[in-house]
Amino acid sequence: MRVLPDESALAKDVAYASTHDHDIEPSPVPQGTDLIAFALTSLLVITVVAVLYFAKAFFLPVVAAFVIGTMLSPAASFLERRRIPRALSAVLIVIAVCGGVTFMVGLISSPVMQWTGRLPELAGLLKDKLHILDRPLALWHELQGMLGVSDAFSATPPFQMPKLEWVQPALEFLPPTFTEFLLLFATLILFIASWRDLRRALIMTFTSHDSRLRALRVLNAIEDHLGAYLLTVTLINMGVGSATGLICWITGMPNPAGLGALAATLNYLPIIGPVAMFVILTLVGFMALPTLSAGLIAPLAFVGVTFLEGHFVTPTIIGRRLELNALAVFLSLAFWTWLWGPMGAFLSSPLLIMALILREHLSPSNSAPQLP
């Protein structure tokens, strides 16, 4: 026989459950919509990275033109205030930048071509210099024999020059081609010339007054910080290059002007540039100077210069305007170098600055929007 529940007991259970609903903790399991949103966001990020990687020939020069054009926009505004048309200002600025780059390449290419033509002679010279290590290696082998270490592990092969199998991968890693350079310069000139109109159009795409003010503040901050970053880093790198050239001249290194220009150019690449310059100075010092100790003076002095620049000068100057976390700089450098090569390494810090500015202005805030 079926037993019907007591209606009064059911009413009591319902009343108890309704009064204790707030005691039930929410389930920690995420909702289905959250998982779907996370999955879609992940797919979007992967798709964007894949497109940027495989369409590098187009996106690299265009993004580089946008970033460099934003850096140079304050200079164009300065010339425009001096009653020079903005289109003419854009052409003059790009010509000046190209002239500076050509001058630096000229300083660097002359010693590079000279040393490249002497590769066989320099290889033999380096081999002779390394004979100074024969006596320490012999003592090490004797010590290993006294300790009973097998000769199979202690035997060292004769010195051989490293193979140049890395040349072709390096050349594949380095392009921009002529077409990419042409796209870069054309986009750069047009971007600088039309930046004011593009800026106004971008701001007016937002409908609300607060959104337009926020967009204006973001664009002002990006232009201000990137322009100051380019000017500051250029002055710092010129100082590093001058100090390196002076060190090379004092220590008797060949082509001190070219080595100084190379140090200034490579210093635009965070972390990678100073390390590459240290290796270059070490190799040149070993081959050009009579002793290994004399060849180490310039590289060690360069390490001191870069230490002072990296730990005191640059953080003191740039850190006053925008603090950059060392881990964030390193990860940004690694990602953009993997994605776009040396040009990506150059763009890593400006892109990181832009991301930090966007996060600062677009993150939720309790304060009302204010005029820039």
Q: What is the DSSP string of 101-155?
A: HHHHHHHHHHHHHHHHHTHHHHHHHHHHHGGGGHHHHHHHHHHHHHTT--HHHH-
Average pLDDT over residues 192-221: 91
Q: Identify the CA nearest to 246 among candidates 305, 313, 314.
A: 305
What pLDDT is stored for residue 254 in this prediction? Answer: 87
Of the given ranges (26-40, 229-243, 296-310, 327-341), which has the lowest mean pLDDT? 26-40
Q: Cα–Cα distance between 282 and 297 in angstroms, integer?
A: 9
Q: How many CB atoms lie within 10 A of CB 1?
A: 2
Asked if residue 137 lies in contact with residue 156, where contact means CB atoms within 8 angstroms, the answer is yes
Average pLDDT over residues 195-211: 90
Say yes or no to pLDDT of 313 above 50: yes
Backbone angles phi, psi at 118, to 5 degrees: -110, 20
pLDDT range class, residue 161, cuts 50, 70, 90? very low
Asked if residue 336 lies in contact with residue 344, where contact means CB atoms within 8 angstroms, the answer is yes
CA 154 to chain centre: 42
Give percent of the chain with pLDDT exceeding 70.
Answer: 70
Instruction: Collect all residues with Cβ–Cβ distance below 8 Å to 246 and sequence separation of at least 6.
Output: 256, 260
pLDDT range class, residue 141, cuts 50, 70, 90? low
What pLDDT is stored for residue 217 in this prediction? Answer: 92
Q: How many CB atoms lie within 10 A of CB 286?
A: 19
Average pLDDT over residues 208-225: 91
Say yes or no to pLDDT of 25 above 70: no
Instruction: Collect all residues with Cβ–Cβ distance below 8 Å to 73 and sequence separation of at least 6.
Output: 192, 195, 223, 227
What pLDDT is stored for residue 152 in this prediction? Answer: 45
Q: Identify the CA nearest to 116 among candidates 235, 287, 2.
A: 287
Q: Cα–Cα distance between 157 and 143 in angstroms, integer?
A: 18
Provide the token pair at 207: 């409908």
Q: Identify the CA nearest to 238 among candidates 268, 201, 283.
A: 268
What's the distance, Cα to Cα, between the start and end of the chain in Å?
80
What pLDDT is stored for residue 117 in this prediction? Answer: 64
What pLDDT is stored for residue 325 in this prediction? Answer: 74
Q: Cα–Cα distance between 40 and 34 in angstroms, integer?
A: 10
Residue with the bigger pLDDT between 91 and 34: it is 91
Q: Cα–Cα distance between 372 and 367 in angstroms, integer?
A: 14
Say yes or no to pLDDT of 69 above 50: yes
What pLDDT is stored for residue 291 in this prediction? Answer: 78
CA distances, 97 to each of 77, 100, 260, 341 (Å): 16, 5, 19, 21
Of the given ranges (113-117, 329-333, 354-358), which has the lowest mean pLDDT? 113-117
Q: Cα–Cα distance between 93 and 69 in angstroms, integer?
A: 10
Say yes or no to pLDDT of 160 above 60: no
Average pLDDT over residues 126-135: 59
Give percent of the chain with pLDDT exceeding 90.
Answer: 39
Q: Cα–Cα distance between 321 and 327 in angstroms, integer?
A: 18
Q: Which amino acid appears at position 210 of this protein? A: D
What pLDDT is stored for residue 218 in this prediction? Answer: 92
360-369 LR contacts (CB < 8 Å, sep 24+): 360/221, 361/214, 361/217, 361/218, 361/221, 362/214, 362/218, 368/210, 369/210, 369/213, 369/214, 369/217
Instruction: Collect all residues with Cβ–Cβ distance below 8 Å to 278 and sequence separation of at least 6.
Output: 299, 302, 303, 306
Average pLDDT over residues 359-363: 83
Q: Cα–Cα distance between 348 and 340 in angstroms, integer?
A: 10
Say yes or no to pLDDT of 186 above 90: yes
Q: Indicate yes or no: pTM above 0.85.
A: no
